[in-house]
A and B are shown apart, each in its own frame.
Chain A
Amino acid sequence: MRPINGMIPFPKILCLGLLTSVGFLGCEKAKQIKVYTIPTEPAPPASWGFASPSGPEKARFTITDTNGTASVSMTVLQGDGGGLLENVNRWRGQLGLEKLEEKALADVANPVKGLSKEARMIDITGISQRTQIESRLVGVIVTSKELTWFYKLMGSPLVVEEAKEGFLDYLPQWR
């Protein structure tokens, strides 16, 4: 077979363009201010102060006012996390209350507006076994197919009363 031609035309323009583009791209770009729009991100109520999560908790806040203090926490466990009855009784135990039977559960665990139909809330008051002072606990348990979320607002009854509405409003967005 004969050669097609003796020489390939030198691709000057291609080569020049290539080198120029490499040069431009190689220069470090100064970082600029960026502006963009995102869907609203869930934010806790303004009165909640930050605190370090403890143990398996994923988030923790504190609420302090002239009536005392309360804490808000969120924990996620795999599966049913031990089940609704077990966890309700665990929380009742923290306030020194007696354990409930399965059949009594429906009377104290109520659905929560804005959450899935499986979500249940309890609102109990007793003596905190840790601090030995009167405390109120609003706890919400949300189960999905593979995970269970536990949200807990606990502390001075007056502070809990004040914070309860904001707590429940924040839950649907708090993951």
Chain B
Amino acid sequence: MALAMKDNPLFKFFSSLRLTVVLLALSLIIIFFGTMAQEPMGLNIAVDRYFKSWFVDQVAMEAGVIKTAQLFGFQWPPVTPEQILGDRGWPVFPGGYLVGTLLLLNLLTAHYARFELSAKKAGIFLTHIGIITLLLGQLFTDILQVESFVSMERGDRRNYSISFDDNELVFMHPMKGGSNRVVSIPEQMLKNKTSTEHPELKELKIETERYWVNAKPMTADQLIDLDGETQKELRNKVLEQVYGLINTRITRMEEYLRENTNAERRTELTGLKAIFIEQRAKEVELRQVADLLGRVGEMEMGIYGYQQTDSKIIFNDSGVRNLIVKIRSYDDQGTISSLFKVAVKDRFIEGSLDEFNRYADDFLEKIKEYPGGAGENMVKNTRSLSERIKVKAKQHYIDSTQGKLGNFYRFVRPLSPVFDQNDRNLPAALIKVSKGGKELGKWLVTCSSDFQQSLEVDGETWKIILRPQRNYLDFNLSLVDLKWEKYQGTEIPKNFQSRVIVEDEEESRTVDIYMNNPLRKGGQTFYQYQMNQNQLGATAQTVLQVVKNPSWLTAYIGCLIVALGLIYQFLYHLVGFARKRRKAAV
């Protein structure tokens, strides 16, 4: 029977050394492109789609290949965030799970086909069993391990850790006996716009009207700031054109002085160039640019002998003059924008889009009554600003009808998704809640605020919040103190250390957590992960990584089996060798 199986072509295929080589080669390719894809896709997404998948999808593979090509100097456009989060396309390459499973099968079949168990080889057999245990342990760790983190400032107390990536929409209501019933809806359901009903939601139906993977809620004055940012970018582009012209003029003077030596003028020009370089590197007002143009013009008159009114002088150049007019217009709009901000700040709460548009129109009328009279340009600039703001308002307005967040933030600005490990997307959604077919309202929910909104229905109060997904602990952690020590005279960290109090019904103890000294409790391990500074540069926040790994013992068991196998094999040969020597001596 066994021999018949060994003759089976399928068995031969799976037990072949050729398959081993092919699979190892495929592993190398997956590891290589998976590593390359981590830059555009972020660590977690790349790991999920290369290593924790049966197949690598088309977009993920493109991300890895394009990044590699870029390293070799090809100017291929990178995969966009929208592509990464959108349709993944076809599976195009074997993924980590497929290659790993086939390797395991290959190892087992090869073992069956070729290996003979004898006392002489028992150690090798044991060592292989140990390696298989390690491989399987790693696989199960990969699948079952849950990582999260606890972030605390001094004095904080936490009874939960939060997920690195996942978010949840929570509906929570109080129960008798001082507890809360929590219904946690995964962010994925908001993203998929899945209509949500659940017995625990007591006939509430939740629908996603709009969803943003990363967004910033805005008040009316922040919306005006958004326009200001765009205008500032345009202003800076024009300013760069002016600087380009100044640079050309200075270079021309340098060349002229090289041919017509004049030591005094050369020193003056070097000084002027230094001022130009310094000014170009920082943010400046229009009058400073005009001053610089004046200096360049004077220098030109001094070097070439031009007259004050000569159009060859830079400040008489019509092209430069037009650019300066443009900058002045942007600056005027900046001033008007500030006035408009003051006009709407704190006055546009719960306002509708029509009301906002009326504000913009009224503001235009008010500008015309500006003390001392508004000039033609000012009215023109205000009209332009007003129209732009109205377009932006229409684009970003959200018609939430309930909740303090939606009343306060009437606009949402979509942001590009981030993939860096140290960044986090802050999703937002506009959800519609109804009960028995009757709409109760639309709430803006966002991870940008930890404010809990209320929903009152049939005498029951629900709290609503979109937040990073929580894993509740059976105990409390309080941060008492933290340390961030550096090697003397450097910024290189020497020691991150957090002193926490662990409290539950059985104990209350103080624990220091630092490198290689984690806290283990409740099947979870708390490692010192990061330290963050506040704006003043003081160490303000510690981050502990929480790892829950039900298969953590497999690594120890695997190592033990490997060690036993190696010891057995060594001793077996040692004893045999000693016997031979004894026989030889006799």
Contacts and interface: CB of A to CB of B under 8 A. Distances in A.
Interface string B117-145: 11110000000000000001001100110
B155 A147 contact: yes
A1 B184 contact: no
Interface string B166-204: 101000001100111111111011000000101010000
A3 interface: yes
Contacts of B139: 22
Contacts of B534: 56
B552 interface: no
B98 to A, nearest CB: 9
Given A37-B180, A49-B404, A78-B154, A6 B101 contact: no
A58 B479 CA distance: 14
B367 interface: no
Contact of B140 (A25, A34, A147): A25
Contacts of A25: 140, 143-144
A55 to B, nearest CB: 9
Contacts of A13: none
A43 B452 contact: yes
Interface residues of B, number: 58
Interface in A113-159: 146-147, 149
Given A5-B117, A50-B451, A22 B101 contact: yes
A174 B472 CA distance: 19
A7 B80 CA distance: 55
Interface residues on A, range: 35 or more
Given A33-B196, A35-B198, A10 B463 contact: no
Contacts of A7: 2, 116
Interface in A1-56: 1-11, 15, 18-19, 22-23, 25-26, 31-41, 43, 46, 49-50, 56
A37 B178 contact: no
B370 interface: no
Contacts of B180: 37-41
Contacts of A11: 108
Contacts of B108: 11, 15
A1 B155 contact: no
Interface string A53-79: 000101000000000000000001110
A90 interface: no
A19 B200 CA distance: 37
A133 to B, nearest CB: 18
B163 to A, nearest CB: 11
A21 to B, nearest CB: 9
B481 A40 contact: no
B105 A15 contact: yes
Nearest to A3: B118
Contacts of B120: 1
A147 B449 contact: no
A157 to B, nearest CB: 22
A37 B117 contact: no
A99 interface: no
Nearest to B201: A33
B13 to A, nearest CB: 15
B439 interface: no
Contacts of B32: none
Contact of B117 (A4, A32, A50, A58): A4
Contacts of B179: 37-40
